[in-house]
Chains A and B, each alone.
Chain A
């Protein structure tokens, strides 16, 4: 039996003490780090509850229950922050990523206590796989929310869409892992490949002229 709440206390205690020494400027970072780890802790309880309720085995729980519970648990505190404090877009993105990172870190700590830390290669793959997967899900929510919450007509549908996208990505990752074999390695590569592709697309689109700029450039050349 793993006492996750004890692990939470053990990890959070030094962070809590250091928070007071770091100063007010860093309160938000620590606050969201605690929220991310707390979300992970609560997700473990809720996952177990639903797995018991639906009599789900490990495979069904990890592919159909865990992605939904974990992504919703990560989004709920953020929605509260957005609705109550109406923060600037920079604060939204850093908060989402802090929640995602701390969630992934705490999940890895719990995994280490359960499975041991003997196999470095496996842990390296897992760290860059599962850890990066939570970051990708966080990035989907992060960059999406910054865009969506600036447009009133898009707030409800946009938030639901982002949650749907992050849950589906998470579920696809878990699905490939649960299948085992070669597909497991596709899953481990999926988050980093997705991040790489997103970076390439961003670079390409930033270099392409906007349609309005292209039209202006075309107009200029025709005048010459």
Chain B
């Protein structure tokens, strides 16, 4: 029951965020909002399909996760967004703290490989880790700026939080405790829904700065 509630909440939240990003794109015609709308739209489709499957069959897919394709496409949009949002100067910026991203992601990838298939995990972790790497670079770069350029830190921070929560979600799904709220999986997923919604105002702040 809680899983269904969790998925329904996420579907509704991503749909709201998708519509909001679409409206901002319609008003401003800015590429960043277009990519955010695509990211949220694909994520919403994946979540919607997953929710529908659980709702109709009361179980998760047994052979292949169709939703993962939509989620992977959404991460590709997130990666494109974090890459295209960076200025030329930002792209050349390097900081030792960027190493924290692979240090955080790669051990968890090793864990996922022991549980699931190789290709799907490599794609999912590869895309999110690269997006987080760009977001970390953008965050550190923005923190060194003054004036409007500093506003980008909120968006990059939101991307980092989103990726962190995704990994928390995946790792907690490897150690399934229960179907109740005692399972950290559901907390990570509820927080992820909030983080996805927060991406819209964070990007607005970064773009309009």
B29→A211 contact, CB < 8 A = yes
Q: How far is the CB of A136 from chain B (nearest CB, A)?
A: 14
Q: How far is the CA of A165 from the CA of B37 in the complex (A)?
A: 13
B57 within 8 A of A: yes
Contacts of A133 in B (CB 8 A): none
Contacts of B84 in A (CB 8 A): 153
Closest to A160 in B: B73
Q: How far is the CA of A207 from the CA of B29 in the complex (A)?
A: 17
Contacts of B63 in A (CB 8 A): 54, 56, 60-61, 64-65
B56→A168 contact, CB < 8 A = no
Interface of A (DSSP majority class): helix
A167 within 8 A of B: yes
B26→A175 contact, CB < 8 A = no
Known: A172-B49, A211-B29. A63 touches B61 (CB 8 A): yes
B64→A163 contact, CB < 8 A = no
A161→B61 contact, CB < 8 A = no
Closest to B26 in A: A211
B151 within 8 A of A: no
Q: How far is the CA of A184 from the CA of B61 in the complex (A)?
A: 19
Q: How far is the CB of A137 from chain B (nearest CB, A)?
A: 13
Known: A56-B63, A157-B38, A172-B52. A211 touches B27 (CB 8 A): yes
Q: How far is the CA of A183 from the CA of B28 in the complex (A)?
A: 40
Contacts of A160 in B (CB 8 A): 72-73, 76
How big is the A interface, by class? 20 to 34
Contacts of A100 in B (CB 8 A): none
A64→B72 contact, CB < 8 A = no
B61→A157 contact, CB < 8 A = no
Q: Which of A56, A157, A158, A179 has the most CB of B within 10 A?
A: A157
The A163-190 residues at the B interface (CB cut-off 8 A) are 163-165, 167-169, 171-172, 175-176, 179, 183
A167→B56 contact, CB < 8 A = no
Contacts of A156 in B (CB 8 A): 76, 80
Q: How far is the CA of A158 from the CA of B84 in the complex (A)?
A: 14
Contacts of B49 in A (CB 8 A): 168, 171-172, 175
Q: How far is the CA of A39 from the CA of B53 in the complex (A)?
A: 27
Contacts of A61 in B (CB 8 A): 63
Contacts of A165 in B (CB 8 A): 41-42, 45, 70, 73
Give a binary string over B40-67; 1 marks a CB under 8 Å from any A CB, 0 the rest. 0110011011001100110001111111
Q: How far is the CA of A58 from the CA of B46 in the complex (A)?
A: 22
Q: How far is the CA of A72 from the CA of B175 in the complex (A)?
A: 33
A161→B66 contact, CB < 8 A = no
A78 within 8 A of B: no
Q: How far is the CB of B83 from chain A (nearest CB, A)?
A: 9
Contacts of A56 in B (CB 8 A): 62-63
Could you pull out 7 A-B pairs where Cβ atoms are within 8 angstroms?
A54-B63, A63-B61, A64-B62, A169-B45, A172-B49, A175-B56, A211-B28
- Residues of A participating in the B interface, judged by any CB pair closer than 8 Å: 54, 56, 60-61, 63-65, 67-68, 153-154, 156-158, 160-161, 163-165, 167-169, 171-172, 175-176, 179, 183, 211
- Residues of B participating in the A interface, judged by any CB pair closer than 8 Å: 26-29, 31, 35, 38, 41-42, 45-46, 48-49, 52-53, 56-57, 61-67, 69-70, 72-74, 76-77, 79-80, 84
